[in-house]
Structure 1
């Protein structure tokens, strides 16, 4: 036993000193992905998280879905899902948790972190103080764990603040902003009116209900707000939604979103229990009689507080004009999405979202403090204006940025640099190269790596898919909306295409060839050619020959205008880089199939062309008068690992019974690492929570593959792959003059495809 008598002096808590290469404060999606990335690169990491679980707003404590550039697949950002660790997590969550249970996501995040021996995870531990070595440099942070009554003093040369409110950056004295900039400071015409709209986004709180099958009484707590039904907001939302579909239950934008956070939470509780009281006791919802409250959040999801100043501040025009940066390290694409400060108590719509025509680059200079020389910025606190923050704040974007921070920290350690020094031609290409190799998506960049042995090999394949068309074996689709087949076409004559149509009465149909105004975008703005046809009664083949010469290799839209009288045949075949889109809208992120931006807000007007989610999402059936070579073996070495401009994938012929790729060198190579990049449909948003998905594995992804050396020795055989990127680390280098990668087709309707091979 322990027995200790009275002491006159104050007792001290246990205190532990720690050292690391990188200290990360905040274990949301940004901090988690930053820690995993840094640890895998070889950095010793301490991850300080003030909650009992990881994931922040995506965790089971708050239960918001993880989203980013794909925006619920409700914008024109095709194949834009973020890469690297955040992609790995979302794919693993799909595999284990297609139902979208946030508790399972918790286990995945904890597992990913605990598998990394270089990470020391401090849960339930709050950073509360720090020490400076110099006025512009952090030397140590102080943290306290309430569960083990231990204080920590953590020393490191580099620090990353992913805490959401920026507690470390704030205590260190870094320059920051709260609220909205004026329209003229950065020439941002979408800057909000501070009086009527407000300067800050509020907090949200969610709840889940459950049907018990028997009557359930609800007695509202005395603090429930029973006057909510009279509010304007209640007339335009579905009160029977639950979970993060209740994002509009928002409050606090007129308050101090840091120091009054608990006050905001209490008001949100009043709102939530008021909603439930109305559903249960107003008499307007008899179908809710058997429902009970299953879960109500105790921690609100916080959108906005401090933003810290870096060497560059991202602003509206950077996003809308898709400006390019030499130090680009990440991608964004969520709408510029601002919320009125009055939230649920206001009479304005719950949000104002304006989409860009495509994705945008995010530069490294936004991700470190301009004042504190060894401090990285991660998560929602990066250097951006309030308007740009409306897009960069979402979790997948925050996580993707944080992966760049982690890789930058590794370069800092290797070269004894501070973050700002990386913004130099001597280091930026190496940083971008390592990010691309890790699966990071940087729009407009390709991996060019002189160390990659695959790029020095001659490559042969068992077969190559030539696209003659897609069989007419899928359902008929009514042309209720304009419908387009996306095709990556090369310079030259557009092939003549035959489609299958059906009509119950004679009809007129118009077909157009469209492309985007900016190469690499998927917003069809330019009409290149058009044809009109009169259709007879019944089923018929329609030959569409635009007789048009293409001048740029990129994606084109073969689009049918809407006609309710007409149906078009689809195909069950799914192919990497092929997609059908429709001119309609996703009500989760838009209110019309065309974004009509008012004059004077600096946003573009354009049509939305959206894919359908599986199990829908079939391509159109068609036949080509000449085959398209969309899947060349050279794409395996071009350093782009998703569809962009073209498919960027090699695909085997569907009739090839043993597809393989073989790399050969003139002399023996010593190979220790092999990377393979598979197709996990980066167009799919993969929402982590609530929505659920119809599948646990992406149908394009190769499950079985085998890698052999020049003697036929099997270096690796995988039978259940579901990830985008596979990395084989050999315990000792293999000496070989060739590598053979054998794959199996994912299914009879999906040919085996691969985006890239790297060898080191």
Structure 2
């Protein structure tokens, strides 16, 4: 056995999306970092070995896509990959290579693949080193470090270090969690493997091996929440857990999953009354042999997240990430249980009891839940964080774990740089962690950019060549893909637009001198009956785009009378000039209002044929709160006068997505490109770094984007220019950055040397398809 010793600042164990994000973040901030992965590829459950689609908050909440390292990866994968995404089973080697390429291009990051952690040395309450073995290379590694990050999923490092951990399900008597059973038990969510098929174009037979499980009961699938929705494979419900131990019995679970997966394909191919004829030309193309785990050990940290934290109104002071997946607790036993996961068993009906009870977010995640309580220099990220079984049901999904990973890696780098133990960072340096995460492209719902080093925040003014205004959108507007692929194009008479429940539409409203400028709102309604119907309407102040409350005091109300017939544009002139408007937003600016229409069966509030950026709609669930309508659409509305919510000042709002307001500079789509936005200072500044956040990759879940996708909203060709001339003086603009062929929303440009600038402007010559240039944030550093 060959023995090597390596000395690092930060050692990250586990190369899934959490570990990869942690390692890249730590290395980018100057820490000598080592990433140890026990498989030949990176990505964990998302890799080509397991093939789980990375998901997160955007499946339930518009404009909630996770950003930061994971966004870089997913945008790069879509731009390079020919493969169409479908739920699980889709992943190919392009995704593996995108992740590997990022690691190879990260200075200061050392990677060890096919290397398993076998030992941990602890002295004085601190980990001093981990021992790892690369079996096929007959090499044993001793890796020393100042901070260690456990992203192994099973909590291997924490366990070997003697940390307290939990495994199983807490009872309701411990934390009074609504989803917890009356008494604690050993149940954990199960593991899955996936398979993939291929349509070969001619009939092919499939004969299962004798040891495969035999399925004969259609009700097991169609009444038990195990609907084979596609012939391509990737069924998450091919799941096995208890009675086997998810760690010790992993090989037995793998074998059992293989038996069941082949039996499921035999059912679809040879027996399923709904699918077998369609499946005649499909052949089994790939089957996984590495179980994708959902749950095992959970390491106890400085804070244990519970179900109550997923619904808390008061933000965590140490918020470093966010989640928004539902409380997704799979039925113990998986395929051995009578029915599948509860919301699937109810047909994924968003108004059904299980879906309503499980709906949460977006919610903040505290750094203390990533900080081990028993070892001073151990952080963790992924499904082994400090959370109850119920809370883990939401935070375990991969895009959320990637955010936690980036936060853990950033906290580790801050600890190294400031000479702190990791245990002290939540109390003594969380502001630095938060501002660093924002600077690196992450989003925190309750934290704004207050970076004292950001020169753009000192700018005296921001101007633009043009700006779009909000007119609204209708069902007969020319359809335009403004930065996302539509799963389908809704027609102007879609029956799903019926007001079977209360609906809300966010509107970016302008305020001038403490008063709203909005004078008239129109909505497009159809009445499918023979008599006039009345629709109750209210206009409410909302704190942000995910403010789903319906019990707020409205600013104005009215009743619209809808005559029989189709596509009536009905106007309303709300009175908004009183004290309520002034209190809503003193001074001048813009903020969100929400236009709500009450449930009125037989009346349809039509969906617009395009999405107006930053303007989405929601419907009321049985719980009394709203949830995103469809997959993020705009309800048909018009406003007068047009609202100036896309102004250039938005690039300094401190937020990089629609949240408290639209937060987007958008050029007038009627004015041809190039278009520009510029910031100016009272005195020249020494400029060394320019950071840009363009529009794109935010509104919807990752899986809706097609092969070779480049977001149309994102700037393709652009320049960054500077001048020392003061406003009003003749300006000789000098380009310092020139980019062509871009598809990444976030770009950070380090200039070869500092340049003096009185003004800086970003000129967009071309987008990837959208007629408007669009920018969420401009940052400048010396």
- Is the 2:527–2:533 contact (alpha carbons within 8 Å) kept by the matching residues of 1? no
**Could you report, residue by residue, the CA deviation over 1:614-641 in whole angstroms, capped at 9, with x for unpaired residues?**
xxx4x45544222212123322212111
Does 1:718 pair with 2:702? Answer: no
* Conserved? CA contact 1:516–1:522, under 8 Å: no
- In structure 1, the partner of 2:326 is 335
Separation in 1, partners of 2:543, 2:173: 27
Following TM superposition, by how much is the alpha carbon of 1:151 offset from its aligned partner in structure 2, in angstroms?
A: 1.5
> How many angstroms apart in 1 are the aligned matches of 2:67 and 2:378?
24
Instruction: Tell me, yes or no, if structure 1 residue 399 matches structure 2 residue 402.
Output: yes
**Aligned equivalent of 1:545:** 573
CA 1:745–1:375: 2 relative to 1, 3 Å: same
What does the per-residue CA deviation read over 1:632-677, in whole Å, with 9 as the maximum and x for residues that have no partner? 3322212111111211122222344442222222333211111111
**What is the SS of the residue equivalent to 2:689?**
strand
The alignment partner of 2:550 has SS state of strand
- CA change 1:140–1:456 in 2 (3 A) is same
Residue number among 529, 546, 549 corresponding to 1:521 in the alignment: 546
Calculate the aligned-residue CA RMSD, in Å: 2.7
Q: Deviations over 1:173-205 (max 9, x none)?
A: 01100011121222212213568x962101111
Q: Does 1:702 find its partner at 2:715?
A: yes
Q: Which residue of 1 aligns with 2:508?
A: 488
Contact 1:358 1:523 in 2 (8 A): no
* Cα distance change, pair 511–283 in 1 and its aligned pair in 2 (3 A): closer
Q: Does 1:610 align with 2:629?
A: yes
- Superimposed CA distance per residue, residues 388-417 of structure 1 (whole angstroms, 9 cap, x where no aligned partner): 111111111111011011111111111111
User: Structure 1 residues 198 and 146, CA, compared in 2 at 3 Å: closer, same or farther?
Assistant: closer
User: Are the equivalent residues in 1 in contact too, given 2:40–2:113 (CA < 8 A)?
Assistant: yes
Cα distance between partner residues in 1 of 2:625 and 2:320: 28
Alignment map for 1:90-109 (pairs within 5 Å): 90-97=74-81, 99-100=84-85, 101-103=90-92, 104-109=94-99
Which residue in the other structure is 1:556 paired with?
593
List alignment gaps of at least 5 residues for structure 2.
Answer: 344-354, 479-490, 586-590, 724-731
The reply to whether residue 23 of structure 1 matches residue 11 of structure 2 is yes
- Counterpart of 1:714 in 2: which secondary structure? strand
Partner of 1:735: 756
Contact 2:43-2:96 within 8 A present in 1 as well: yes
Structure 2 matches for 1:373-384, cutoff 5 A? 373-384=376-387
Aligned length: 715
Q: Which residue of 2 aligns with 1:6?
A: none
Deviation at 1:571, TM superposition (A): 4.7
Cα distance in 1 for partners of 2:233, 2:315 equals 34
Counterpart-to-counterpart distance in 2, 1:412 and 1:133: 19
Q: Quick one: distance in 2 between partners of 1:692 and 1:740?
A: 31
CA distance in 2, matches of 1:275, 1:539: 47
SS at match of 1:704: strand
The answer (yes or no) to whether the contact 1:480–1:564 under 8 Å persists in 2 is: no
Separation in 1, partners of 2:168, 2:257? 21
Deviation string, structure 1 residues 398-439 (Cα, Å, up to 9, x no partner): 110110111111111111111111123x52211111111111
Change (3 A) 1:240 1:295: farther
Q: Could you say which residue in structure 2 is the equivalent of 1:512?
A: 537
Is the partner of 1:411 in helix, strand or coil? Answer: helix
Which one of the candidate residues 677, 680, 687 is aligned to 1:661?
677
Q: What does residue 147 of structure 1 align with?
A: 136
Q: Where does residue 559 of structure 2 map in the other structure?
A: 531
Check the 8 A contact 1:516/1:526 in 2, yes or no. no
| Residue in structure 2 matching 1:627, options 642, 650, 654 | 642
Q: Does 1:674 align with 2:690?
A: yes
Q: Name the CA shift for 1:34/1:748 in 2 (closer, same or farther; >3 Å).
A: closer
Note the 1:111-510 alignment, pairs <5 A: 111-134=101-124, 136-193=125-182, 199-227=187-215, 229=217, 232-233=220-221, 235-236=223-224, 237-239=226-228, 241=230, 245-282=234-271, 284=273, 285-351=276-342, 354-424=357-427, 426-458=428-460, 459-470=462-473, 472-474=476-478, 476-478=492-494, 480-481=496-497, 482=499, 484-489=504-509, 492-493=515-516, 494-500=518-524, 508=533, 510=535
Q: Residue 287 and residue 685 in structure 1: after superposition, are their counterparts in 2 closer, same or farther (change >3 A)?
A: closer
Do the aligned residues in 2 keep the contact of 1:516 with 1:524 (CA within 8 Å)? Answer: no
| Larger displacement relative to structure 2 (548-557 or 409-418) | 548-557
TM-score by length of 2: 0.86
CA distance change for structure 1 residues 625 and 738 in 2, over 3 Å: closer, same or farther?
closer
Residue 167 of structure 1 deviates from its aligned partner by: 0.8
* Distance in 2 separating the partners of 1:32 and 1:476: 45
TM-score using structure 1 length: 0.88
1:262 & 1:130 partners in 2: Cα distance? 24
The residue that corresponds to 2:21 in the other structure is 33
Instruction: Measure the CA separation in 1 of the matches of 2:222 and 2:495.
Output: 34
Preserved CA contact (<8 Å) 1:516 1:525: no
State whether residues 68 and 397 of structure 1, in contact with CA within 8 Å, keep that contact through their aligned partners in structure 2.
yes
- Offset, 1:117: 2.6
Task: Report what 1:570 is aligned to.
Answer: 608
Conserved 8 A contact 2:472-2:639: yes
2:483 aligned partner: none
